């Protein structure tokens, strides 16, 4: 394998990984931007999403890699899985806000954050208890098509991941920038009190941000499952921690920052494995994070947080 092919191949790998981190990072950043809360339950919402997607595929009679679909049935099944998973995950996110965090909103200090950590463990241990701790073979009905670029190989799932991520991120950007509810979200992010006084329904805005962030985690869960064909009850922690790092690297609260951070972390992780050693990936990721934060404490694109004056 030539040096160039190898570089192309690792870039394909890194971009794919990064796109997933970016989708996941958006959920952290949206909630933080509006509430200044780090929602650690996001890890487990993503993990639950992989199981929702797995069972939705199985409801269509697709188990493991034995059923390959083409054309309209493939698109139909994938769409259905995305919609079901994103809706269920969005619902879980909303429930977390409505039933736990809303009651704690008036409480100062880290109570809300600790609650999200607790919910995260409750979700992952519930999956462990009711579904099991073993690894699961995630169904994949996509034909095993591969494209060659020199000696580099691209699986068909990889461009699919890029397209899905790009569409969802652009959709989110449009929603935040151009819709009335998006405007209300930005207003709440700037100053919740003033927004409330101007007639913004802050509860609804917060609920929406939880729904959107969690639905994106659901989308990330589907593409994660299709790409790795694997899931397990702990799968959210490692990916979630890196996605959170991505959000901080890009500037927490900042939507484009989360995308940039996700892609960067994906590429850094891949290139570290290639040129140093896979054991060093975490060391390098977190070293870069520390260095960036020392020189740009607000992250690469700057931090966005509610004005609590």
* Structure token digits, residue 6: 């190898």
Site string for other proteins, 85-124 (x = CB under 8 A): ------------------------------------x--x
Neighbours of 38 (CB within 10 A): 18
User: Residue 119 Cβ, how far from other proteins at the closest point, in Å?
Assistant: 15
Q: Which is nearer to other proteins, 235 or 246 (CB)?
A: 235
Our finding on whether 133 is near other proteins (CB under 8 A) is: yes
Nearest Cα neighbor of 44 from 268, 257, 239 is: 239
State which residue, 1 or 166, has the beta carbon closest to other proteins: 1
> Nearest approach, Cβ of 228 to other proteins (angstroms)?
6
By CB atoms closer than 10 A (0-12, 13-18, 19+), residue 263 is buried
- Can you tell me which residue has the tokens 């790998």? 13
Give the tokens for residue 189: 């992010």
User: How far out from the chain centre does Cα 3 lie?
Assistant: 32
Is residue 128 a contact point for other proteins (CB under 8 A)?
yes
Rounded to 5 degrees, φ, ψ at 147 are -115, 140
What does the per-residue mask of binding to other proteins show for 267-306, with x meaning CB under 8 A?
--xxxxxx--xxx-xx------------------------
- Rounded to whole angstroms, the Cα distance separating 83 from 106 reads 34
What does the per-residue mask of binding to other proteins show for 234-273, with x meaning CB under 8 A? Answer: xx-xxx-----------------------------xxxxx
Q: Are 148 and 5 in contact (CB under 8 A)?
A: no
Query: CA–CA distance from 143 to each of 156, 165, 286 (Å)?
Result: 8, 20, 37
Among 60, 100, 175, 228, binds other proteins (CB under 8 A): 228
Q: Binding residues for other proteins, how many (CB under 8 A)? A: 45
Q: How far is the CB of 14 from other proteins (least distance, A)?
A: 7
Please give the residue ranges that form the binding site for other proteins (CB under 8 A). 1, 6, 9-10, 13-14, 16-17, 64-66, 121, 124-125, 128, 132-137, 153, 155, 224, 228-230, 232-235, 237-239, 269-274, 277-279, 281-282
């Amino acid at each position: 394998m030539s040096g160039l092919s190898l570089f192309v191949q690792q870039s394909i790998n890194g971009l794919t990984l990064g796109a997933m981190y970016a989708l996941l990072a958006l959920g952290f950043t949206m909630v933080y931007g509006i509430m200044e809360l780090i929602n650690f339950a996001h890890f487990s919402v993503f993990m639950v999403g992989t199981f929702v997607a797995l069972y939705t595929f199985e409801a269509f009679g697709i188990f493991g890699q034995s059923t390959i679909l083409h054309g309209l049935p493939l698109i139909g099944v994938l769409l259905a899985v995305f919609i079901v998973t994103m809706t269920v995950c969005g619902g879980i996110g909303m429930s977390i806000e409505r039933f736990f965090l809303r009651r704690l909103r008036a409480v100062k200090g880290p109570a809300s954050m600790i609650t999200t950590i607790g919910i995260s463990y409750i979700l992952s241990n519930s999956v462990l208890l009711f579904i099991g701790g073993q690894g699961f073979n995630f169904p994949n009905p996509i034909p095993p098509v591969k494209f060659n670029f020199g000696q580099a190989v691209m699986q068909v799932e990889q461009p699919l991941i890029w397209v899905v991520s790009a569409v969802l991120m652009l959709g989110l950007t449009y929603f935040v920038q151009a819709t009335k509810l998006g405007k209300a979200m930005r207003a709440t992010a700037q100053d919740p009190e003033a927004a409330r006084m101007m007639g913004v329904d802050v509860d609804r805005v917060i609920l929406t941000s939880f729904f959107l962030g969690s639905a994106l985690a659901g989308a990330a869960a589907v593409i994660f499952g299709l790409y790795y064909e694997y899931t397990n009850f702990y799968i959210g922690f490692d990916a979630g921690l890196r996605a959170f790092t991505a959000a901080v690297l890009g500037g927490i609260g900042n939507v484009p920052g989360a995308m940039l951070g996700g892609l960067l972390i994906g590429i850094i992780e891949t290139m570290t494995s290639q040129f140093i050693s896979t054991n060093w990936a975490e060391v390098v990721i977190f070293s870069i994070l520390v260095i960036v934060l020392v020189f740009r404490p607000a992250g690469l694109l700057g931090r966005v947080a509610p004005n609590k004056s």
